[in-house]
Amino acid sequence: MAAPEPTPCPFEKRFPSRLARDDAFFMSLAYNQAIDAWREDEVPVGAVIEAGGEVVAAAHNRVEASSDPTAHAEMLALTQAAARLGDWRLEGATVYVTKEPCPMCSGAMVMARVKRVCFAVADPKMGCLGGAADLNALPRSNHRLEVTAGGALEADCRELVQAFFRARRAGPDEP
């Protein structure tokens, strides 16, 4: 039996001005990655990594397509950034992600020595930067992340992920 057709993504991509490379600009790029994830029937989470004002990595969830539980947007983006920069230490880099990172992704960001994480939507069930737990609160950790929670595109990113799960629960025959 063939897999059901994915629910079409009703959201449009954003085209932010490249003149203001601020949190809203980079989060818009992460949002676009999340839309790509939805279009591939993946949970719509997108991540972008900025270093020195430039995008050094961009990815979205690929767990289903790759049958890999570690293929989260953040993990894929960290791997891309390390390859592009030629160093696993991503000191000075900022990760923009549409949903609060899980324990695996948060831990990888600490291990990569990322400077800052900016996420749009808190995750009280699995988030590990203040949602369900706070990795930064571990007293013996050798690195702390600067965390910016909410703000840039929070409402848009929340609407995107909630609409995805509403459509999933409704099934292919229901609106």
> What residues are annotated to the active site?
74
What is the SS3 assignment for 36?
helix
Q: Long-range contacts of range 92-96, CB-CB < 8 Å, 24 or more positions apart?
A: 92/51, 92/52, 93/49, 93/50, 93/51, 93/56, 94/26, 94/49, 94/50, 94/51, 94/118, 95/47, 95/48, 95/49, 96/23, 96/26, 96/27, 96/29, 96/30, 96/47, 96/48, 96/49, 96/50, 96/152
Quote the tokens at residue 57: 């990595």
